[in-house]
Every structure is written in C-alpha cells, then in structure tokens.
Chains A and B, each alone.
Chain A
C-alpha cells in the first residue's frame, strides 16, 4: 500500500521567515493534495497537484510536485501567525478513490510573532 512521509514533523519559525515542508511517497504520485488543519477544526483544502513538475501558488504558499522523486514540497514565503497549524499531504492511488487514499502524518507549524 502507498505510504506518505512528511518532514519535518514540527517546525517553529519566526514571523517573516520562509519555510518548506516535504511529502515523500513510497509509490508514484497520481494526485497529491495539501491540506491545512487548525487545532480543533477540520481540514482545509489548499492545493492539488497532478502532473510531474507542476507548481501552484495561493497567496504566499507554493506547492510543487516532483513526480520522478515521488515528492512534493510546500513552501511558505514570509510566514505569518495565520499560517500556524498542521499541514497534511494526501494522495490518490491510480484506480481507487476510497481505500487507497492516504494521508501523511502531518507537519505542525508554529509561527512566533
């Protein structure tokens, strides 16, 4: 079965600093999703990547998919306290929407003002 690893597990940065979170898959990624979760709340969808080399941006968050390396990265530029939370990556298998959709363990981000 497909497994996702995330690094780092947790991250503390000073406001204004840039940071990167990585998601590595044990198998080829056909659909990679990034979510953000605040404590006590549900997951908020950020971005979806499908093609090797694809890059998407939303406000100060950029996600890239490197299909050859089976890895995706999430980069936050000039971090703000509002970026704090848990970031999770999730992935589709090529032919099953339910059972083979898996999530990484998450990266907990704290941004100090």
Chain B
C-alpha cells in the first residue's frame, strides 16, 4: 500500500518553463489537496478537489492550475514558472467515509526550484 505518491521528487526549472506535478493515491479517497510549504509561511493550500472532475481554489491559487480527471490522480500545473514558485509542494488526500472529520494523508513532497 503506497498511500500518496508524488512525482517528481526534485525538479529545477528556468523562469517561464512549464511543468506538471503528479499526485497519485491508492486509498480511494474522495478529497485531494495541493499545498506549498515555505520557510516562515507554513503550509498554504493552493487548490483542492472534492471528487473526480471537480476542483476549487485555495488560499494561493494564482499561477497554478489543477486537474482531476481520475479519482486517484490530482495534477498540479505551472504554466509559466516564476522564481516566487520555488517551494516544496505537498499533496494530500482524505477520506470522508466513517465521519465528517478525517485526517489528511500526505505525500513526501516535491522540491521545486525556479531559476
């Protein structure tokens, strides 16, 4: 049971390049999230999804797009990377079965540097 898997683990981009981060979960969770973690800023929610085919904006959505075409996958895209998007990105998933309050399960993160 892999849980939440993020690919790639590390990536260096040049300003203006585009890329997609992939998150895959094998727990059949309904909800999925993308966060960024920066020193002194903590974890901030970028986008989230409450089910296949649905996405919503979080606290810091600008410069990012997401898609959830399959329940198990949640993709985060950077169309034109900027140095301000240098960060560690975390994906998480969450079940809603068994009650309203369930913990989020996190991947190991993707370290992204924009030069």
Residues of chain A touching chain B, judged by Cβ–Cβ distance below 8 Å, are: 30-31, 33, 35, 40-45, 48, 50, 88, 90, 92, 97-99, 101-106
**Count of B interface residues, CB-CB < 8 Å:** 27
Contact A42 B90 (CB under 8 A): yes
The answer to whether A98 and B101 touch across the interface, beta carbons within 8 angstroms, is no
Q: Which residues of chain B come closer than 8 Å to A31, judged between CB atoms?
A: 100-101
Chain A's closest residue to B44 (CB) is A103
Known: A31-B101, A45-B103, A92-B101. A99 touches B42 (CB 8 A): no
Q: Please name all residues of chain B whose beta carbon is closer than 8 Å to the beta carbon of A104 when the two chains form the complex.
A: 42
A106–B43 Cα gap in the complex (Å)?
Answer: 9
B94 closest partner in A (C-beta): A97
Q: Which chain A residues lie closer than 8 Å to B94 at the CB level?
A: 97
> What residues of chain B have their CB less than 8 Å away from a CB belonging to chain A?
4, 31, 33, 40-43, 45, 48, 50, 56-59, 90, 92, 94, 96, 100-101, 103-109
Contact (Cβ within 8 A) B108 A99? no
User: For residue A45, which residues in chain B have a CB less than 8 angstroms away from its CB?
Assistant: 103-105
Known A41-B109, A42-B107, A42-B108; contact A99-B56, beta-carbon cutoff 8 A:
yes
**Residue pair A98, B50 in contact (C-beta under 8 Å):** yes
Enumerate chain B residues within 8 angstroms of A102, measured Cβ to Cβ: 45
Instruction: List A contacts of B100 (CB < 8 A).
Output: 31
- B43 close to A103 (CB less than 8 A): yes
- Distance in angstroms from B94 CB to nearest chain A CB is 7
Distance in angstroms between the alpha carbons of A92 and B101 in the assembled complex: 8
In the complex where A88-B43, A105-B42 touch, is A99 in contact with B59 (Cβ < 8 A)? Answer: yes
Within the complex, what minimum Cβ distance (angstroms) separates B2 from chain A?
12
> Is B48 within 8 A of A42, CB to CB?
no
CB distance from A9 to the nearest CB of B (A): 10
Taken together as a complex, chains A and B put the C-alpha atoms of A101 and B107 apart, in Å, by 17
Which residue of the partner chain B has the closest CB to A46?
B103
Q: Is B106's CB under 8 angstroms from A42's CB?
A: yes
From B31, B90, B105, contact of A97 by CB (8 A)? B31
Please state if A41 and B108 are interface contacts (CB–CB under 8 Å): yes
With a cutoff of 8 Å between Cβ atoms, the chain A residues found around residue B105 in the complex are 45
